[in-house]
Amino acid sequence: MTRLRFFVLSLLTVGVMAGSAVAAEPELLLVIKNHQFEPGELKVLAGQRVKLVVHNQDATPEEFESHSLNREKVIPAGAKATIYIGPLKPGRYSFIGEYNEATAKGVVVAE
């Protein structure tokens, strides 16, 4: 292999590896247990897209709903769902469990 080909292949390999590292969103876990979200407050970096994994550990389904995040998703009992949010401006973004609004409440804080 000539030096030029080796150099080009090396640059491509480094570029692919760097691109993969940049493309991955931070992942946060949100649990539904006893009709409540745990944790009740999630902190994220403003301007960054986030992968939110919601695990419903209750025996009944729950709907993650947020008007401020423009997201809603039904999560069956015992199941997990992935919800992508952001990038967000600095602020507070509330969410609820629509089937248990009195107890299932939370907030995403973008800083």
Domains and CATH numbers, the chain: 25-110 (2.60.40.420)
Residue 11: what pLDDT? 53
Would you place residue 101 in the very low, low, confident or very high pLDDT band (cuts 50, 70, 90)? very high
Q: 5-20, pLDDT tens digit by residue?
A: 555 455 555 554 555 4
Whole-number Cα distances in Å, 66 to 3, 7, 9, 18, 85: 55, 49, 46, 33, 11
What does pTM read for this prediction? 0.78
